[in-house]
Amino acid sequence: MCGIFGFSGFHDPDCLRAMSRRLRHRGPDGEGVLETEHFSFGNRRLAIIDIEGGDQPIYDETGRLAVIQNGEIYNYIELRKELIARGHRFRTDSDTEVLVHGYEEWGRHIVDHLEGMFAIAIHDLDSGETFFARDHCGQKPFFYWSQGDKFVFASEIKALLECPLVKRAPDLEALDAYLCLRYVPEPRTMFAGISTLPAAHHLILKRSGEFVIERYWAPTIQQEPQHRSDGDYLDELDTVFQRAMELTVRSDVPVASYLSAGVDSSMIAKVAHDLNPDLHTFSFGFRSPIDETRAAAETARLIGSQHHDVHLAAEDFGNLAKVIYQMDVPVGDPIILAFDKLATTCAEGFKVVLSGEGADEIFAGYPFHKIMQLVDRYHRIVPGFLHSGIAMPLLRQTPIGILDRAFPFPAYLGRSGKLRLVEFLEQYRGRSLRENYFSLRTLWGEQDRRSLYSEAFRERATSDWISKTDSTSGGFLDRLLRLQFDEWLQDWAIIRQERNTMAHSLELRLPFLDKKLLEFAFRLPPRLKAKRLQDKIIERRLARRMLPREVVKRPKNPFFMPMEFFFENPEIQKLIDLTLNETQVRSRGYFDPETVSRLVQGMDRRDFMGLKQVMSLVILELWHMIYMDETILFD
């Protein structure tokens, strides 16, 4: 059930129909709307639960409350039983109907009872008030625009733009964040005047157009008594994970699973196969040295799933503009092409697919988790005079080839990558956790960004968005994970998958983002997440209970686009010529044409950072051409 849209403060049937048509890919199985003079909303349905009876909107017994949703309420069976016991009468077997009866029973506190992924709208026809809520991790999108007494919302921005009131304009103050992170952290988007309802927030809209946004849930860092053994934690994780899987696979249609060579997706596929022996799995590769399809196929053979390989070719870059259109907002990494092609193949036979996103975020599985722990420990032990007087001069003189061996990606670090590492270590002591976190992950350091901007634009670009207050609760790793949870997960990890699956009417489900599993992970002592060179310690221990030894022992291989194998292809060169030529760069006005030209010419060095920087600029300019200039059009 995968696309919602609507507006308040005016009546425009043509706008409502246009928004519905624009979201048809999210729900080709049905359409339903509610229209009044003051408020209208609708749903495009992908039928997964109660295929025959779950059309939306769904009303309460009196017809006063109407609900639409995008997503799935995984614990709807348990909630349905509880609500029936409290006297509510159900007319369907749909998970959506528990929302309207739950709202009758608990009001806005209904969100405290929900487990799943959702963006919901519940309208009270008597009072004219509307309740909106987004799930705990932002798995399902919700965008809105408001002005005076008028409010417009939708699952995708392209549907908002069907409303004549919503104008197309870039948010220039978001540009610095995009260059730093390759995405714009919520609640901003790259569109001026268009915001996203943050994850774990609800919004109450009055008939007058006034609205209030509040956070209803946040992961709590709460260290438990030390008398608990590692074995107790492992047993609890086993129970919580099995329950999360059982809830997540609930469906009236077959469920497939993505499968890489890593433990996250392997654990999901193993349990999914135990629950459904006819499981199909899908893996992705680049036909390059980082290709994991052979190892994934071996995992599939060991667990017994029916397996399918998908590969990206350089010619697929011809689809980049289309995939950027699917994304709504620019995400500056061509890896989005891989997610689109994987979804295209899976959607040929399935409506639902499982994936392992979320495990690295809650169990500390990324290389920068270990790097930042090691660097923080180093700075607490090594005196400042030794660091600046001996360690840093040695690092500056260290050949790139030696540093390359410690680089977590199997690609060439390059001079720009070395400079970024030196800058990170040199400035670490004077920065907050948040600043160091962004500094280590950024594609463009602050000085790089200042050098890239044109003289006219430089004063408009601001990095004030970085300077938020760090959390002081918990130890170093807990604070780092909590910081990452609030922006990286929904703005980088989830969006790349969600938009590209839904573009093909395929629903993505993420078992590791189960609410109870999240709360368990944030209660874990850091020693069971990552230490020294180990990552996802407790998850790997659980994997040993479930998977063959050779699967668990495989080292983590970062999933990234190996541009060094693709960038010379004519399809890619055509994109670069279209977007980064001097005339186009100068007319856009953001960047210095000579600096951009040097970056493009430097691609021949096959430098990891340089290749990624060029592609992030290509994606940004294509986004402008699609959404701002409308010179590249899609139906």
- Active-site residues, by number, are 2
Q: Please confirm whether the linkage preceding 410 is cis (ω < 30° from 0).
A: no
DSSP secondary structure string for all residues of 390-409: IIHHHHHHS-HHHHHHH-SS
Q: Are 128 and 64 in contact (CB under 8 A)?
A: no
**In 56-96, alpha helices (H):** 76-85
Closest CA to 262 of 239, 228, 293: 293
Contacts 24+ apart (CB under 8 A), 30-35: 30/55, 32/56, 32/57, 32/68, 33/57, 34/66, 34/123, 35/11
Residues 324/623, Cβ–Cβ less than 8 Å: yes
Encode burial over 410-420: b for 16+ CB neighbours within 10 A, e otherwise. Answer: ebbbbebbbeb
Q: Tell me the pairing of strands 352-354 and 255-258.
A: parallel
The closest of 146, 189, 165, 132 to 4, measured between CA atoms, is: 132
**Strand 306-311 relative to strand 280-285: parallel, antiparallel, unpaired?**
parallel
Distances (CA, A) of 555 to 131, 355, 453, 605: 46, 19, 39, 28
Asked if 330 and 178 count as a contact pair (C-beta separation under 8 A), the reply is yes
Provide the Cα torsion 413, 488, 492, 595; round to 10°: -50
Residue-by-residue DSSP string for 555-593: PP------GGGTTTSHHHHHHHHHHSSHHHHHHH-SB-H
Helix, strand, coil shares, percent, the chain, to 5: 50, 15, 35
Task: Give the H/E segment covering residue 281.
Answer: strand 280-285
Return the amino acid letter for 297.
A
What residue type is 574 in one-letter code?
A: K
- Residue 128 φ/ψ region, left for φ over 0, alpha for ψ in the -120 to 50 degree band, beta for the rest: left
For residue 151, what are its two tokens? Answer: 């409010």
Cβ–Cβ < 8 Å for 141, 186: no
* DSSP secondary structure letters along 93-148: --STHHHHHHHHHHGGGGGGG--EEEEEEEEETTT--EEEEE-TT--S--EEEEET
Residue 215 burial by Cβ neighbours in a 10 Å radius (0-12, 13-18, 19+)? exposed
Maximum Cα interatomic distance, the chain, rounded to a whole number of Å: 76
Residue 13 CA neighbour count, 13 Å, CB half: 3
Tokens of residue 250, six digits: 């609930």
Pairing of strands 280-285, 255-258: parallel
Report the distance separating Cα 172 and Cα 403, nearest Å: 36
